[in-house]
């Protein structure tokens, strides 16, 4: 499988499909003990306690970028979605849709990247599927992962649980992933040092649950960026989220790049950051827990939850700007940049 390209035959149920699965995937995705992996489903040991279950499809273009690729992103994204329920992600499934003609060396790099990302996050890829779409009916490779985890937070954090007086924490700088992709697609070499922040957050979540406890909301601000995530939380919890713009960590290079391109880092996607909302008296413990991780080094308290705005409305995000003003940070309507994840 060192060279050549994916053919329609690799998506059938016959010899070619079995070879591809064995040589490209099974050889890289190690099976945990207590699971059988060569049937159409994986047999998993009992998981004690409530479960978290999540899925995401990844159609990112280009498939390889500074700081990651569609393979590592497909692992990190679902690991993070599972973790955001205050859970320890354990198992992943992965379903590939491959475009006929995809070069095998690229597929093998992406499979290896998934294996490495899963191993680094401590999760196992235990079951999967491969389909081949005729040339022109899909673009290179789409990956859908689903994840199962054991919920360790009690009660589990939820977008509905932000409460007046809570602190709003952010685990690090925003905008890197979205800007890295924008730069790459636009061929903007001046921004070529900006890398995606794609990273697994499950160990940070575990530390938060154990050391800070009582997490009201955990959420990773991916599509739509921090602005979409905070608006969603404000609506679902029927509160107002007050954010101090000056306290939102943004890398200088990202701020400069956004300024040139007319982008707002608060609306750009992130793939290795989390928002944590919890009582003020737990905020210091939570920040300390986050800062022990490289991807949490820049963690900061960026605001707080209020019962309503000056006009009595809820479901809004109010930004205290650097210049001392206040404005609504609105929910984005659509997509700045398609195929960002």
Residues 117-156, interacting with a second copy (CB under 8 A): 126-134, 136-139, 142, 144, 146-149, 151, 156
Range 320-339, binding a second copy (CB under 8 A): 331-336, 338-339
- Given 17, 66, 152, 255, the residue binding a second copy (CB under 8 A): 17
What is the helix (H) or strand (E) element at residue 141, kind and residue range? strand 141-151
Distances (CA, A) of 169 to 76, 214, 223: 21, 14, 19
Residues 23 to 52 in contact with a second copy, rule: CB under 8 A: 36, 38-52
For 274, the token pair is 């989390």
Q: Report 167-226 residues binding a second copy (CB under 8 A).
A: 219-220, 222-225
Contact between 329 and 243 (Cβ < 8 Å): yes
Question: Is 76 among the residues that bind a second copy (CB under 8 A)?
Answer: no
Sign of CA dihedral 157, 162, 167, 173: positive
Spatial distance between the Cα atoms of 277 and 167, rounded to a whole number of angstroms: 6
Count Cβ atoms below 10 Å from residue 79 Cβ, excluding itself: 29
Which residues ranging from 270 to 329 are in contact with a second copy (CB under 8 A)? none
Q: Looking only at residues 223 through 242 of this chain, which bind a second copy when binding is defined by CB under 8 A?
A: 223-225, 228-229, 232, 236
Say whether 40 sits in a helix, a strand or coil.
coil
81 near a second copy, judged by CB under 8 A = yes
Q: How many residues bind a second copy (CB under 8 A)?
A: 91
Choose which of 97, 162, 180, 205 interacts with a second copy (CB under 8 A): 97
269 contacts a second copy (rule: CB under 8 A): yes
Least CB distance from residue 77 to a second copy, whole Å? 9
* Least distance (Å) between residue 296 CB and a second copy: 20
255, containing H or E segment: helix 252-261
130 by DSSP, 3-state: which?
Answer: strand
């Amino acid at each position: 499988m060192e060279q050549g390209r994916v053919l329609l035959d690799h998506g059938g149920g016959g010899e070619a499909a079995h070879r591809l699965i064995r040589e490209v995937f099974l050889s890289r995705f190690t099976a945990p003990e207590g699971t059988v992996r060569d049937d159409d489903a994986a047999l998993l040991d009992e998981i004690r306690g409530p479960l978290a279950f999540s899925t995401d499809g990844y159609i990112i273009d280009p498939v390889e970028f500074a700081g990651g690729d569609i393979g590592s992103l497909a692992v990190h994204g679902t690991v993070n979605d599972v973790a955001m329920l205050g859970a320890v992600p354990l198992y992943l499934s992965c379903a590939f849709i491959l475009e006929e003609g995809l070069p095998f060396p690229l597929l093998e790099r992406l499979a290896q990247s998934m294996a490495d990302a899963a191993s680094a996050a401590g999760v196992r890829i235990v079951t999967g599927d491969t389909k081949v779409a005729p040339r022109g009916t899909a673009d290179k490779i789409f990956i859908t992962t689903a994840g199962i985890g054991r919920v360790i937070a009690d009660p589990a954090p939820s977008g509905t649980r932000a409460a007046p007086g809570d602190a709003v924490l952010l685990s690090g700088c925003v905008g890197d992933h979205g800007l890295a992709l924008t730069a790459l697609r636009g061929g903007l070499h001046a921004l070529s040092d900006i890398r995606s922040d794609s990273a697994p957050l499950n160990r940070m979540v575990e530390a938060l649950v154990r050391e800070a406890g009582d997490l009201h909301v955990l959420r990773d601000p991916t599509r739509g960026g921090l602005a979409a995530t905070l608006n969603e939380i404000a609506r679902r919890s029927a509160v107002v989220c007050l954010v101090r713009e000056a306290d939102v960590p943004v890398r200088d290079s990202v701020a400069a790049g956004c300024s040139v391109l007319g982008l707002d880092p608060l609306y750009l996607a992130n793939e290795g950051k989390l928002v944590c909302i919890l009582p003020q008296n737990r905020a210091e413990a939570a920040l300390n827990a986050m800062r022990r991780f490289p991807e949490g080094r820049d963690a900061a308290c960026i605001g707080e939850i209020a019962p309503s705005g000056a006009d009595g409305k809820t479901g809004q995000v109010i930004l205290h700007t650097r210049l001392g003003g206040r404005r609504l940070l609105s929910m984005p309507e659509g997509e700045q940049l398609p195929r960002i994840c």
